[in-house]
Amino acid sequence: MVKVLILVGYGINCDYETEHAFRLANAETERVHVNELITREKNLENYDIMAIPGGFSFGDDLSAGKVLANKMKTNLHDEVMEFVKSGKLIIGVCNGFQVLVKYPLLPSMEKQEATLTFNDCGRFLDRWVYLRINEKSRCIWTRGITQLYLPIRHGEGKFVVKDENVRKKLHDEGLIALQYCDKQGNITDEFPWNPNGSIDSIAGICDKTGRIFGLMPHPEGYLYKTNHPRWTRGESEKGEGLKIFRNAVEYAEENLV
C-alpha cells in the first residue's frame, strides 16, 4: 500500500484535511512532525509520498514558508535529495508551495528561481477560484484533468520569477501545471480571476519529472460535494480536489510499491 508522510508542526494547519484526502485515495497515511525526521525517529525513506500542507509555518515570519524551508534544508537535505532521486512524489499546498520554491525544490533544485509574495490586492484572500490545467504540463498530479474549482486562503500567493529566462523555461519545459482562469476557462491576468497577480496567472508548477508539485489553491478543501459553496443549488456532484490525490496514489502504486 502506498505510504504517505503528512508533515506537521510549527503552524502547519491543513494536515488533517490532507491526510483525509490521501486516505480517500486509498493510501496509508501518517502525520509526522518535522522534528521526528530531524531526530531520525522517523525516516523519510519509508514513505512513497511526502505532503507539506498549508498553514502558517513559523507564523510566516521573514516570509511565508522560508523558515520551514531553511529548517528542512539544514537538517534533512540528504534525505530529501535521496527521496527525490528514488522517484518518489512530493506535494506542497499553499504554505507548502511556498516552502518548495524557497527550499528550493521548484521549479529546479540548483538555486531559487521563483518566489511567492504578497497579493497585489494587499490583503489575505479566502475565496474560490477557477483553474485550467496546462495540457503541456509534465505534472503527474494533474493528469486527466482539464479544469478545477478550488478554494484559496492566502496573503502571499503572487508567483513571480527571478528573470525572463526562468519564465521561458517554465513555459518551454512544461513546468506550469495550472493557471487561474475565468468561468469559461480563459486564462486572464484580471482580478478577481487571477486573485493575487501571479505572472501568467500561474497557480501551480511542477519540476521536470512531474513528480514534485506545488500549488496555492487547496485541493484538500474540496473532497465532497458539500464543500462546494453552491452545493445546495445542485452545482456540484463530487469533490474535484480528490482527483489530484488519486492521480498521485495511482502513480505510486504502479511505479513504487
Active-site residues: which are they?
Answer: 94, 218, 220
For 143, the 3-state DSSP assignment is coil
Q: Which helix (H) or strand (E) holds 5?
A: strand 3-8
Q: Which helix (H) or strand (E) holds 50?
A: strand 49-52
- Rounded-to-integer distance, Cα 137 and Cα 129, Å: 20
CB atoms within 10 A of CB 169: 16
| C-alpha R_g of the chain | 17
Alpha helices (H) in 62-200, listed in sequence order = 66-85, 95-102, 164-172
Eight-class DSSP state of 83 = H
- Rounded-to-integer distance, Cα 18 and Cα 6, Å: 7
